Every structure is written in structure tokens, then in C-alpha cells.
Amino acid sequence: MGWLEDDVALITGGGSGIGRAVALRYLAEGARVAVLGRNGEQLEEVVAAAGDLGERVLPLTGDVRSPEDLHRAVEATVEKFGRLDILVPNAGIWDYHRSVTRLSGKEISEAFDEVFDINVKGYVLAVEAAWRELVATRGSIVMTLSNASFHTDGGGSLYTASKHACLGLLRQFAYELAPRVRVNGVAVGGMRTKLRGPESLGLQGRTLEASFAKNEASGQEQQPLIPLYDSSVEPEDFTGPYVLLASRTDSGTITGAVIPADGGIAVRGFRQPAGGAGL
Ligand SMILES: NC(=O)c1ccc[n+]([C@@H]2O[C@H](COP(=O)([O-])OP(=O)(O)OC[C@H]3O[C@@H](n4cnc5c(N)ncnc54)[C@H](O)[C@@H]3O)[C@@H](O)[C@H]2O)c1
């Protein structure tokens, strides 16, 4: 028996990165999973990656900025699988560390709208589209948050503000939807994914994994900056807390909580990141 036997999940941005990894992990835990994204090819690849479990994956193209797309996704999920137990608001973009000192007012205005539309409004609209079905199943929401929901320098000001805003959404939704629906989050740290930048800054073609690769190729890979990592981590390494928080059996008393899955940024030392590095 898996931890999520017969549950049904809908994951936004489920075609790549952490969303894809969570989709495959939820499948392995017995769930059926709908993955929503903008790129149909990526979504079909998730079905293929599921192998024998492919028929338990529903690929759905759509944009998280569109309330109609999200309502259609929830309806299609319930039509195919009969219910919705778990919503994972996850789709997002990064600002590639653009500091306020590097951007003009016009660039900030346009990039702010784009980053907040996807990262923040996209989460609100997903919850709006799904809450009725989640109430019906006494289900839960597991949001992807970020180290940037708590700490500086996980991006520039726009990304950091957007991820702090998601923490506020999580807490408010946990209040508004209790006692029927639990709302929790996983604050993931940096990992190799295709996380892209805003079109308005011409950064839609950049990916985080390409930045990792470029640093490695130039021999400029930084020393580990956080306590637990001595090499980069992959999306699959972050999926456990998403399973735990979605499980009614094991998290039935938890709402409004965030598990930081970031390698221990909050306990990083001043002299060196990990105090026990020589052990
Ligand atoms: N990669 C990291 O280091 C990191 C660290 C902390 C938090 N995160 C967060 O993890 C989440 C997932 O990102 P990822 O790193 O897996 O990157 P990713 O690019 O692989 O995944 C994001 C997904 O969202 C989709 N998406 C983007 N805009 C969309 C839109 N308007 N409508 C529908 N889908 C859209 C993309 O197509 C993609 O599939 C994001 O919220 C990101 O902020 C990532």
C-alpha cells in the first residue's frame, strides 16, 4: 500500500522540475495525477515516464493565469478520476536574481506583473478553482514554496516578494478552508530544473539547469553554501514532504505548516556552512 492509495491530485506546472517529480512520486504512492502546464510535449513525456502507470496520468494544457483554464482542469480531473483530493499549486518563474539596481522602472513594472501573475495569482486561481472539490473530499493543498519565502537572495526582489506572498496565501487559505481542507507547503531549496525567467525581461529562454551547467563547465561551481549539500540536488530529492503533507493518515492534524526542504539554510553557520564538515 502506498501513502496516497486511490487519492487524486492536480499539480500545476507538473510537466517539469519539482512538479513532474511530485507527480511521479504520487503515482508511486498509489495516487492518480493530473498535470497542468503550458507545454503539451512536456506533459506527454510525464505520461511516458510513468510507464505502466501512464493511464493514471492526465495531461492538461493550460495557463495558470487563466481562471477558465484552471476550472477546465479541475472539471477534467473530476470527470476522469471521479474526485479531487490534493491540489499542488506549483507553476512558477524566477527573476534570475535581477536586483532593483539593475532594472529600470519600466522593466520592474512589467516584470512585477508577469512574476506576480504566474507565481501569486496563479496560486490563488488554482485554489479558487479547486476548493469546492477539496471540501467534498476533505482533501488538502500542498503548495510549492521556496527558500525565498523566508530568506533573502534566493532571487531578486520580485521573486522574493512573490514567494513571501505565497506564504501569506498559505496561511490565509489554511484559515479560510479549515476545518474541511488542510493547507500546507514545502519550501524547496535550489535544484537543477528548467525554471525560466520573465518574458518581459527577455529571460524566457534561460533555464536554471543551464546556469548550473555553465558554472560547472567554467570551473566556477561555488563551494557548498548550505549545511546538508556537498553537491547539487535533483527534484526527486524533495518529494518526500509533499507525500507526507498530502497524507490524511499521517498529516491529518497539520495545517498552515511549511516544511523547509532546503538543506538547512536556517541553521547555516557564519564561519562555515556546516559545523560538522570535518566529522
Ligand atoms: N528550481 C529551484 O531551484 C527552485 C527553488 C525554490 C522554489 N522553486 C519553485 O518550484 C516551482 C517549480 O519550479 P521548477 O524549479 O520545478 O521549474 P520548472 O520550470 O521545471 O517548473 C515550472 C513549471 O511551471 C510551468 N509554468 C510556468 N508558467 C506557467 C503558466 N503561466 N501556466 C502554466 N504553467 C506554467 C512551466 O512550464 C514548468 O513546467 C516554482 O514555483 C519555483 O518557484 C524552484
* Domain containing residue 109: CATH number: 3.40.50.720
- Determine the Cα–Cα distance for residues 241 and 185; give it in Å rounded to an integer: 9
Tell how far the Cα of 253 is from the centroid of ligand 1, in angstroms: 29
63 in contact with ligand 1, CB cutoff 6 A: yes
**What cell was used for 32?**
492518480
Question: DSSP secondary-structure letter at 73?
Answer: H
Structural domain includes residue 83: yes
**Residue 41: predicted pLDDT:** 97
CB 158 within 8 A of CB 112: yes
pLDDT band, residue 218 (cuts 50/70/90): confident
22: containing domain: 8-267
Report the mean per-residue pLDDT for the chain.
95
The domain total for the chain is 1
Structural domain includes residue 30: yes
Check whether 23 has a pLDDT greater than 70: yes
Structural domain includes residue 109: yes
Structural domain includes residue 277: no
**Residue 232: predicted pLDDT:** 67
Pocket test for ligand 1, best of 97, 152, 195 (most atoms within 8 A of CB): 195
Tell me: the pLDDT tens digits for 225-244? Answer: 889 986 668 999 999 999 99
CB 188 within 8 A of CB 181: no
What's the gap between Cα 174 and its chain centre? 17
Structural domain includes residue 13: yes
CA dihedral sign, ordered 207, 108, 126, 248: positive
CB 11 within 8 A of CB 90: yes
**Residue 233: predicted pLDDT:** 85
- Determine the Cα–Cα distance for residues 244 and 235; give it in Å rounded to an integer: 16
Structural domain includes residue 275: no
For residue 190, the ligand 1 atom closest to its alpha carbon is: 3
Question: DSSP secondary-structure letter at 102?
Answer: G
Residue nearest to atom 41 of ligand 1 (CA): 92
